Every structure is written in C-alpha cells, then in structure tokens.
Structure 1
C-alpha cells in the first residue's frame, strides 16, 4: 500500500510544485500592485486638490459677484444673479439702479470684494481667476463677463479716488487681481 501512495504522491508533486509557483507569483503580483496602488494614492491628494476648488470658494465667488453687481446697477455678473436690494427699501434700490453711491459706500464694497478675493487666493493657491471660474463651471462667456466686471470696478474705484475712494483700497484690488492673473486694465 505504501508503494501505491508513493506513486500517487510522485504524480501530485509536479502539480503541487506548479500550484505553489503560480501561487507565489500571484502573491508577488498582488504585492506589486498594492505597492503601486499605495504610491498612486499617496500622490493623489495633490492632483485631486488641483482638480477641484477648496471648500467655500463657491460662496466667496457668489459674494464677490454680488458686490460687483452692486456697483454695476444690479446687473448679473458672470452667470451669478444680480444684486437685488430689499423690496421695502426704495432708496437703496434707486441708489443701486442709478449708481448714485458715495465714495464711502464704494470703499466699503470694494474692501469686501478685496476680502473675498483674498480668501479665494488663500484657499486656491497658485490658481488664476480664470482657472477658478472654469472649475466653478462657468462657460467662457461668463468668465469673460466676470473678469470684465472686476476690471470695470477697478476702473471705477481708480476714477473715484479724487472724491474720496481710498487709493489703498484700489491698490489692494489691483494687487489681488494681479495675483489671480487678471490685469487691472
């Protein structure tokens, strides 16, 4: 009986050896693929972060557009809705529609725009405004309109410096625009 067991074992040995070799090879391939996967995922956060906007950017863009809109008679800015003064404030509504605001109001609104743009820059370092707006989902025409509105506001503030708009506020806006890859003119 021992003799027949040896014959069966000798027939199985090559099959077992082959299974062992294939198994080891598969384990090796799995280990290599896991290593590759770990390496890919380790580099993923940087590319994923570049592929999307930082949390809160959309709200900052909306606020920027709203304040730009105030200075542009309530017009829509780059696909964002125009500014609507409260319905029960006729004086404020006329002020926006007729663009009859004071230098103090322009200063305040542009300081707010500067604040929002500064936060956008901090949250999305190294990105241009055009890239940010593209990632926000704006189409090319909306991007041009948003950037044009920003340039118009810079021009308005620069033109109002002689009647009290702060040159520092205007210079800060120009600096943020440059950081975002938008020339002020």
Structure 2
C-alpha cells in the first residue's frame, strides 16, 4: 500500500470514528445505523466494515478514543500547566462537550463496567499528585466519577433549573463553573468532617 493510500485510509478511519461518536451521542447506539454513519463520514458502508469489522467494533473504538482523548486533555490541563492558559479551555471546550456527551450516552446505554473502572483509575492517578485527605483513594475517585456523571445524566433537570441547556456552550460553562466552585472550597470544617467520620465508624461498629 502506498503512503498516500495509507494516509487516506487513516483519514477515512478518523472520519468514520468521529461520525459514529456524533451519531451515537445524538441517537443512541441502536438507532444509529452503519449506513447513517458511513453517509455522514462520506464513505461506503464497506469501508466502515473494513476498518472496524462491525458496528460493535466501531463502538469499542469510539469508547477507546473518547476515554484516551479525555485523559490526554486532562493531562494537558493539569499536568502540563495549561489551566493557567486562558486560551486553552475555550479552544478545547467544544471537543470536551462532544466527547462527554458521547461517554454519558454510552454509560446510559449500559456500557461495560470497564469504562467506569477506567474513569476511576484515571481519578486515582490524578489524586496521587493532589494533597487530598482520604484513607480510601479508590472510593474517593469512584464517588467523584459517579458525581461527575450525574451532572450529565441529569441534563434535563439541570437545564430546567438553570434556565439554559447544559448541553450548549453557555449552559455547559455555567455548570462547570459551579463544579469548579464546589471543588475549590471545603463544605465542611475539619472538625465537622472528623465528627462525621467518627459517627460513621460508630454506626458501622457491630
């Protein structure tokens, strides 16, 4: 295969993947057909099957890409210091919204537990470099992952309460600013947290 043909195939593969991410997020896995995905990507159904084998194989590739790309963006934001770059977040905001919409739809449709486990593992890795007080980082990361997913699973309710669609840039930004505010400050004093932990230990003692 020539280098030009190889580059063309890689581009086609990416177009198919991106079209599938959009259609799976918009309509769900069952409703998005191979023909619809191929049509949006501007390729034949046969080329889609050549690259991914089946719609299930395509979904697996979309899951892998979305998780890896979100992890990459998170590393750039925190690990590479782009959080201080005022141009970085606006530049990646449309992409993160799109990938979040896909991942949440995938979760709603019964994605494998492995996907959630990967989210938790990414959270644990992040916690390793953050001064967080917890004696159970696994549970800490798992609960944060579930809470973050909850924001998107309750999209309709949040949109109603906030008076704007949280799937659109303005509403999404408002929701994320609130999340930042929550993570930026303790909601319990140190004494209150200690007292709550002690009460919980007491309640769990046989």
Q: Same fold (TM over 0.5)?
A: no
Tell which structure's C-alpha radius of gyration is larger.
1
Q: TM-score normalized by structure 1? A: 0.34
Q: TM-score normalized by structure 2? A: 0.32
Q: Relative CO higher for 1 or 2, CA cutoff 8 Å, sep ≥ 6?
A: 1
